Structure 1
């Protein structure tokens, strides 16, 4: 059961932030404007250059193409080449893939937690557990967004990629358990962020096909957009124009899959821009590689400083997540996140169930840890004692398929923040990322309250038929401590202290954000402060994670800002592009 438990947890835990309105059988050919970067000419010119064809970049580029010529440079491949690969049945295997053609690039934070960056057209929406839920009204107002345009932008996304989930037995039981223990009121099926228990949307259709941000390219004007795959941007180019004191972005250098360098320039027009949509890891990393960041840090790597900007890479955060696995005497459906309990104390409770697990998972998880550890210089956690613990767990609950589910809690915010730094000047390499999980004691308090809620749900009448009567919750906690889910040390008192349990067993829910904080790196229009013709539009600009799951809001933001930018382009007589 150890390897099965590991596989089940790692599969489910990708719910995140980290495809298709058309049938998968013909969508790749429908997008004639999506091509390999090896086919790109040596020099290109466009009105907008979007770096990153991810969860924000795809809706942004599709919208901009309605009024301008747009180039999208995506470092990964296409999710449409093998439709079965992104079906819900292969959710686990896609996550575990660390081959050069995989959709994710694993990394281990300095906190000792395994994480991943998307590298595929559609970004994290190609990898995640599919849950779709909007940000709260308070988050929208605090972000300075126009509420009417935000609502319209959400609906624009939802028409293509979002569905109501089927809600079978496991998800229904957890929903009823949440209501039984007081996570009230019941808000039924809704995309809105409301305190209580609700059913959210999903980007999986009733056949298990995944629909993602890449599908939003269906909105694009095919005559005005070009998307190049396996196009890794090396740096953004800057110049100084006569009469302007600030550097101005005017082009990029990118490398194709064969290592050939290409250059893309902005057309000569004061309205044209380069837009970074490379995500919370990629956007600050590429700003630094291009000379925008803390001067001393850049100089230490031999990078010419364009702008000394000490906030680049700062205030990066990842919502800590902790879990309990619930083995069941009854078979349960295959489900990812559908039910969520939005508590008043700041924890979100989510669940998944019934993933089919292959016998190779323990070995593959070990390979991931050791592969990334070798790259980062961090030691592997797979000691002989750990392997023996997993083997003991296998004997304890041996079954070729995990019957049961897991229940997780994610804290809001979080208040704890960290930073990102370059390791090398190679854009393919992961930077060094520190999230500082639970540095703020309030985060730890919320985690403990969340774990108490999970325990209450497991003990509820609603979930009783899915429980082994002689397997206590304490036994489940003890069993979790046997599994080497991260590289952090384990403490014997973790079994008796929920605080220590939270610290020792913390995992990512793949909802990291920050690194280009608002009002410090970007202004209220997402323009990079101190330079011209450059914006950042993605989750790196979020001051905290939006609601239970960020993907809805990341996609919305791409559409929202695309509308703002293109409208400004046509009505440039206005004095301000203000977001309000």
Structure 2
């Protein structure tokens, strides 16, 4: 009891010392998104049959855009992006349309849905700017400890974060519901209060956002404004089918020297590296796309490649291994009063290894008030059934049930927890030889009992927030936490009746209601597939630079670090060739 009271006192003192920012009462979402009309961005149908560049970047995503922009300051760069442009698409640009792009399952959608072998429905980006065009916008750095363990140079890391933040990061406008979450975290013992900061610090903080004050999203594609326009070419709807290798001799390493890609009409094109030392191909196709492309190009487990009639360039058994996805579990809290539309703004970084975040309000994507934001069956976030039961028919039924509810039923918000790491790991395999098809991926959620323990503590902390004094205006007094955890399928929250509120029941709750927060990583990890400079082991002139190289997801949300990594490695690669960072054009 003494420990509990001491935490309460610390929370109150922290709140006073840091003076949490004032909460605005009404949103102000005016204006339209800017449209970056880059002259170097073209449809791949306009590409020549054969072209030559100093660098070829496969994937114009969260890492690929800042990487290419940086390299183009001194060298010619080709970016091959399988998706289209994010500009002019309100489903990407506007905060109130969150979920619309994720719910679009058409072949031209900026998101591509996949279902892991675990049964959890997920999405991968298919658009210039990558996941930064689809996510909930939270911007936060990795911890100094993470930077140290990875072996990055701290000074250049900070400079790279700052370079990114000049374009895409903003301080959010805090409104009543998010403020209640913040204060509820403090009253629940997630202290100290660290105010608004991009830094990763234990306690409660307000993080950054890539949505500006008009509610418009800024993405990694915006970082291409730093590119040298005469030295970069960005081709959209350009799907790379294979990396080409040559060998200098029987005893030498294979050398990457070109790629084969197809445009939206299926026409084949080839792009080659110019002759000369230092020119390279960089794969930045994401945690699914990068290991998939390496395998399709003959770099991967030999027996698996042979089973798909792929010629083996290098037997590399660790390609596609150590895949991980941070499990997310959420609780819906109906509110007796209206709440703002908000995505992730506040985070509680706990001492036990879970992050507590929140989202709220109806989303009016496409003029409909029932798109349910981050927790909609329309985007695959269906937790009312255990993962293996989330069939297309179940999704359709859940959408029908929710569409039949009155709009007032969606008045409220979600508290969610995501565990750090995670420790549990899985793997990725090819489904076939079509790069447009999703590979087969297994994440093994909660396979390690430590992950499950963290989830239970995270859900327990959410319960404390709901019962806190700060959160009282946004909850019905006749709906205690056990009732919220056991709400029926007819409620807007996607849960079936659960067990009694015991430790073992919370374990089952975690397993049955697990969803993704889209932070999957691994498959081309440092130390097994690439070295610490992200060069692919066993071949020359080839690197992988993206989230597939991570052993753990950085920070509470990884996008800031993925963008930073693109800039950081671009600077490092230029230093290798030019001698000093200062010689590059900024």
With normalisation by structure 2, the TM-score equals 0.87
Determine the C-alpha separation between the residues in 2 that align with 1:343 and 1:96: 32
Determine if the alignment matches structure 1 residue 159 to structure 2 residue 176. Answer: no
Select 2:426's aligned residue among 398, 415, 418.
418
What CA deviation, in whole Å up to 9, does each residue of 1:460-510 have, x standing for no partner?
Answer: 110001011111222211127678999xx9896487500000000000000
Compute the displacement of 1:145 (Å). 0.1
Compute the displacement of 1:146 (Å). 0.2
What SS does the aligned partner of 2:471 have? helix
1:435-514 to 2 correspondences below 5 Å: 435-479=443-487, 493=499, 497-514=505-522
Give the equivalent residue in structure 2 for 1:516: 524
Select 2:147's aligned residue among 119, 123, 140.
140
Aligned length: 537
Select 2:578's aligned residue among 567, 570, 576.
570
Give the equivalent residue in structure 1 for 2:126: 119
Compute the displacement of 1:102 (Å). 1.1
Give the equivalent residue in structure 2 for 1:250: 257
Compute the displacement of 1:27 (Å). 3.0
What SS does the aligned partner of 1:194 have? coil
1:44-443 to 2 correspondences below 5 Å: 44-83=51-90, 85-242=92-249, 245-356=252-363, 358=368, 361=371, 381=391, 387=397, 391=401, 398-399=406-407, 402-443=410-451
Matched-pair contact (CA < 8 Å) for 1:204–1:211: yes
Determine the C-alpha separation between the residues in 2 that align with 1:329 and 1:485: 16
CA RMSD after TM alignment = 2.5
Determine if the alignment matches structure 1 residue 538 to structure 2 residue 526. Answer: no
Determine the C-alpha separation between the residues in 2 that align with 1:32 and 1:566: 24
What CA deviation, in whole Å up to 9, does each residue of 1:135-165 have, x standing for no partner?
Answer: 0000000000000000000000000110000
Matched-pair contact (CA < 8 Å) for 2:195–2:205: yes
What CA deviation, in whole Å up to 9, does each residue of 1:427-474 have, x standing for no partner?
Answer: 000000100000000000000000000010001110001011111222
Matched-pair contact (CA < 8 Å) for 2:92–2:133: no
What SS does the aligned partner of 1:442 have? helix
**Mean Cα deviation higher: 31-40 or 401-410:** 401-410
Matched-pair contact (CA < 8 Å) for 1:131–1:203: yes
Matched-pair contact (CA < 8 Å) for 2:138–2:344: yes
Matched-pair contact (CA < 8 Å) for 1:295–1:310: yes
Determine the C-alpha separation between the residues in 1 that align with 2:491 and 2:172: 31
Indicate how the Cα distance of structure 1 residues 278 and 212 shifts in structure 2: closer, same or farther if over 3 A, else same.
Answer: same
Indicate how the Cα distance of structure 1 residues 490 and 207 shifts in structure 2: closer, same or farther if over 3 A, else same.
Answer: closer
Indicate how the Cα distance of structure 1 residues 142 and 494 shifts in structure 2: closer, same or farther if over 3 A, else same.
Answer: farther
What CA deviation, in whole Å up to 9, does each residue of 1:491-548 have, x standing for no partner?
Answer: 9648750000000000000000100011100001000000000000000000100010
Determine the C-alpha separation between the residues in 1 that align with 2:566 and 2:488: 39
Compute the displacement of 1:398 (Å). 2.9
* Higher normalized contact order (CA 8 Å, seq sep 6+, divided by chain length): 1
Indicate how the Cα distance of structure 1 residues 146 and 348 shifts in structure 2: closer, same or farther if over 3 A, else same.
Answer: same
Indicate how the Cα distance of structure 1 residues 549 and 114 shifts in structure 2: closer, same or farther if over 3 A, else same.
Answer: same
What CA deviation, in whole Å up to 9, does each residue of 1:38-88 have, x standing for no partner?
Answer: 000000100000000000000000000011000000000000033464211
Determine the C-alpha separation between the residues in 2 that align with 1:167 and 1:297: 51
Determine the C-alpha separation between the residues in 2 that align with 1:368 and 1:179: 32
Indicate how the Cα distance of structure 1 residues 249 and 388 shifts in structure 2: closer, same or farther if over 3 A, else same.
Answer: closer
Indicate how the Cα distance of structure 1 residues 221 and 137 shifts in structure 2: closer, same or farther if over 3 A, else same.
Answer: same
Indicate how the Cα distance of structure 1 residues 483 and 259 shifts in structure 2: closer, same or farther if over 3 A, else same.
Answer: farther
Indicate how the Cα distance of structure 1 residues 389 and 469 shifts in structure 2: closer, same or farther if over 3 A, else same.
Answer: farther
After TM superposition, where is structure 1 displaced by more than 6 Å over at least 4 residues in a row? 364-370, 480-486
Matched-pair contact (CA < 8 Å) for 1:37–1:256: yes
Give the equivalent residue in structure 2 for 1:374: none
Give structure 2 stretches of 5+ with no counterpart.
Answer: 1-30, 382-387, 581-586
Determine the C-alpha separation between the residues in 2 that align with 1:484 and 1:331: 15
Compute the displacement of 1:365 (Å). 6.8
With normalisation by structure 1, the TM-score equals 0.88
Determine the C-alpha separation between the residues in 1 that align with 2:492 and 2:396: 7
What SS does the aligned partner of 2:487 have? helix
Matched-pair contact (CA < 8 Å) for 2:161–2:564: yes
Determine the C-alpha separation between the residues in 1 that align with 2:448 and 2:416: 20
Determine the C-alpha separation between the residues in 2 that align with 1:361 and 1:244: 58
Compute the displacement of 1:565 (Å). 0.3
Compute the displacement of 1:101 (Å). 2.0
What SS does the aligned partner of 1:438 have? coil
Matched-pair contact (CA < 8 Å) for 2:319–2:524: yes
Matched-pair contact (CA < 8 Å) for 2:207–2:346: yes
What SS does the aligned partner of 1:531 have? coil
Determine the C-alpha separation between the residues in 2 that align with 1:111 and 1:277: 25
Matched-pair contact (CA < 8 Å) for 1:293–1:307: yes
